[in-house]
């Protein structure tokens, strides 16, 4: 059968042969054995409902074995035989450009060059899934191929509930992931209900089909690390020869060494999974691989002496690096961590003092022992960081729940008031006040033609638009504008494309709308093919996350999730092609609510109207919320927007003199 015929078929008409387990793939860790015997029967029953009854006897035993071996039923037998990657839009069987573009994005998210655990349909973060199993993938692609622009596909945590009639102006797909009744969002709840096959963790952009490989975060990481060095270095001094020490290369953390190279420092990124480190090295995202600690010490000292710009992946545990660097008196200028601590007990963080393989065994067979080892490792980790901080290291939490989980482990990470952490979140210190409050965030696009020439042209268009905006931009955002102009001009040279022809760029509402409109005009003229717009959920408005995206909200509302919910609803009727809302993402299940969108530019006047309406709201909803929280720069930004947009009228806070409150209580 051809690729198109397989897509249109959905669940095969004949039972495929059982597949052998792919030993060469980077598999997800085996999950905790958490279900009772009756619940395991329910999980198998749930899985079998996708298939004809005549197949049940054969599949029941197979699915039971998968559940025993992996803690989940992935349905490996039903993984399609065709190669998984984002094909040109024209290669997909579809009734519309809109739905074909969604198919492009789904396949890009599952491309082995992009996805962390592609066999398990996990894109990044250890558990950030596009679907729970291969049956869901097959059915979803079939629905997308046959649906019209008067239907909407509703996805419940990867499960395609079905096609429902809807107007052409409605989103083509509605996605929810992990939306639980509030009392059922603890870590073991995810383990249980995901094992039952009734919910999944969509991370942020995985479950929204908007992940574009490590470059999806590389710009934000570049901005963060660049400004971290700006905070500590004398004006005019460059980061060359200065050290940025961090951990994680498996998913979005893989952006860190590339960002370090762009910033111009020495980056040391520790990764316990040799396969993940080697993958990033082969993709050109890290310059050197080192697995011996003595060799690492010598190489770093050499790089310092020569003021080098180099990125090094150390295959080993970052705790060992922090401790050894302290012993050798190697000064770390900037430090962080980007391991997946939102899932600390299931492979997101590997404890020091044991091997990667032994840790994976403990996760499955001795989970309580593993948990104790992780917490002891976090205490050691924090203690080592503290020693460096006393020497002058600037350490920031990269929103991966490092400080949160370290505090829960009893590590010395709390400030004197016993409420706050002693180290800031990168959003509190950098991205919040510098970017989010002004409306700047990770706008991204994908060229559905698959042509590098289309991406080159969109880079040029974006650069031209930003340069024009820069001429009249107020002083408050001149630095952000110039950083982004430099970024997009250098984007191709930095070789960031993995998978689809995609790009990311921090832009505000004005920049996003003008760039998108210029893209749409280029599509209309035939200069480029259709373009998919999106963003990271890690943005101005998309995410309510008290320890990351909204950590610089100080009016007490950072634990509320109204903004993210309003965002996805508001985007849906203002023109998004698809919208998504997730429980979890970045800092963990039950800790955050985040939403995203996709918008297809097909060159039509309708697309131009949609982009202007939707992108405006998508950004300004968040600025308005940040303004109401009394964030000074957000107040400036929303007042500026109201002055040039007559139909925008936002409630602005009246500021209180702090002295007025003294002595009242």
What residues form the annotated binding site?
125-126, 203, 271, 398, 586
Q: Is the C-alpha dihedral spanning 626, 631, 637, 638 positive or negative?
A: positive
Residues marked as binding for NAD(+)? 125-126, 203, 271, 398, 586
> Which tokens sit at 587?
């800092």
Element (H, E) at 504: strand 502-507
- 374 alpha-carbon distance from chain centroid: 24
> Got the DSSP string for 105-168?
HHHHHT-TTT-SBGGGTEEETTTEES-SSHHHHHHHHHHHHH--TTEEEEEETTEEEEEEE--T
Report how far apart, in Å, the C-alpha atoms of 618 and of each of 75, 462, 540, 567 are: 37, 19, 8, 6
- 10 Å Cβ neighbour count for 221? 27
Would you say 192 and 35 are in contact if contact means Cβ atoms under 8 Å apart? Answer: yes
Report how far apart, in Å, the C-alpha atoms of 297 and of each of 291, 300, 303, 326 are: 11, 5, 10, 11
- 540 alpha-carbon distance from chain centroid: 14
Task: State the SS3 of 243-287.
Answer: EEEEECCCCHHHHHHHHHHHHCCEEEEEECCHHHHHHHHHCCCCC
d(CA 538, CA 125): 14
d(CA 79, CA 101): 21
d(CA 634, CA 639): 8
- Rounded to 5 degrees, what are φ and ψ at 527? -70, -40
Burial 535-564 (b: 16+ CB within 10 A, else e): bbbbbbbbbbbbbbbbbbbeeebbeebebb
């Amino acid at each position: 059968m051809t690729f198109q015929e397989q897509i249109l078929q959905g669940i095969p008409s004949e039972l495929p042969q059982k597949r052998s387990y792919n030993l060469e793939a980077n598999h997800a860790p085996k999950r905790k054995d958490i279900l009772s015997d009756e619940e395991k029967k329910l999980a198998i029953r749930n899985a079998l409902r996708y298939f004809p009854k005549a197949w049940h006897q054969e599949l029941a035993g197979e699915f039971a074995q998968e559940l025993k071996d992996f803690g989940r039923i992935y349905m490996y037998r039903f993984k399609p035989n065709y190669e998984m990657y984002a094909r040109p839009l024209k290669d997909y069987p579809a009734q519309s450009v809109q739905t074909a573009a969604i198919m492009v994005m789904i396949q890009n998210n599952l491309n082995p060059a992009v996805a962390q655990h592609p066999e398990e349909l996990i894109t990044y973060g250890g558990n950030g899934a596009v679907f729970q199993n291969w049956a869901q993938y097959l059915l979803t692609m079939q629905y997308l191929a046959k649906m019209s622009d008067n239907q909407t596909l509703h996805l419940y945590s990867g499960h395609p509930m079905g096609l429902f009639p809807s107007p052409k102006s409605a989103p083509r797909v509605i996605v929810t992931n992990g939306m639980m009744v509030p009392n059922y969002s603890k870590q073991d709840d995810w383990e249980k209900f995901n094992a039952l096959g009734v919910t999944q963790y969509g991370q942020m952009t995985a479950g929204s089909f908007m992940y574009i490989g490590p470059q999806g975060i590389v710009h934000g990481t570049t901005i963060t690390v660049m400004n971290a060095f700006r905070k500590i270095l004398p004006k005019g001094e460059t980061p060359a020869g200065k050290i940025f020490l961090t951990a994680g290369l498996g998913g979005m953390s893989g952006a860190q060494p590339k960002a370090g190279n762009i910033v111009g420092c020495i980056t040391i990124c520790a990764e316990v999974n040799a396969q993940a480190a080697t993958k990033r090295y082969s993709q050109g995202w890290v310059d050197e691989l080192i697995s011996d600690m003595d060799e690492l010490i010598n190489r770093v000292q050499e790089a310092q002496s020569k003021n080098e710009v180099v990125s090094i992946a150390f295959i080993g545990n970052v705790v060992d690096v922090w401790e050894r660097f302290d012993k050798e008196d190697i000064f770390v200028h900037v430090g962080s961590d980007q391991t997946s601590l939102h899932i600390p007990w299931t492979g997101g963080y590997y404890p020091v003092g044991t091997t990667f393989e032994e840790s994976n065994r403990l996760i499955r067979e001795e989970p309580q022992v593993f948990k104790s080892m992780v917490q002891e490792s976090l205490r050691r980790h924090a203690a080592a960081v503290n020693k460096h901080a006393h020497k002058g290291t600037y350490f920031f939490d990269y929103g991966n729940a490092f400080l949160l989980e370290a505090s829960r482990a009893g590590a010395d990470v709390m400030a004197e008031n016993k409420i706050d952490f002693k180290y800031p979140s990168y959003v509190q210190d950098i991205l919040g006040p510098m970017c989010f409050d002004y409306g700047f965030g990770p706008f991204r696009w994908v060229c559905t033609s698959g042509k590098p020439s289309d991406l080159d042209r969109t880079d040029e268009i974006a650069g031209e638009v930003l340069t024009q905006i820069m001429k009249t931009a107020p002083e408050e955002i001149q630095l952000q504008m110039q950083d982004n102009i430099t970024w997009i001009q250098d984007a191709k040279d930095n070789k960031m494309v993995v998978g689809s022809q995609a790009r990311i760029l921090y832009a505000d509402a004005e920049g996003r709308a003008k760039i998108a409109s210029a893209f749409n005009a280029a599509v209309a003229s035939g200069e480029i093919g259709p373009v998919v717009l999106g963003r990271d959920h890690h943005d101005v408005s998309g995410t309510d996350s008290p320890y990351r995206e909204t950590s610089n909200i100080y009016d007490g509302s950072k634990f509320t999730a109204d903004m993210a919910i309003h965002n996805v609803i508001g985007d849906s009727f203002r023109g998004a092609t698809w919208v998504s809302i997730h429980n979890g993402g970045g800092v963990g299940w039950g800790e955050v609510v985040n939403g995203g969108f996709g918008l297809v530019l097909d060159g039509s006047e309708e697309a131009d109207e949609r982009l202007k309406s939707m992108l405006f709201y998508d950004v300004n909803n968040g600025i308005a919320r940040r303004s109401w929280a009394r964030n000074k720069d957000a107040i400036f930004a929303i007042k500026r927007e109201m002055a040039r947009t007559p139909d925008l009228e936002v409630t602005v806070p009246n500021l209180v003199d702090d002295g007025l409150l003294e002595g009242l209580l």
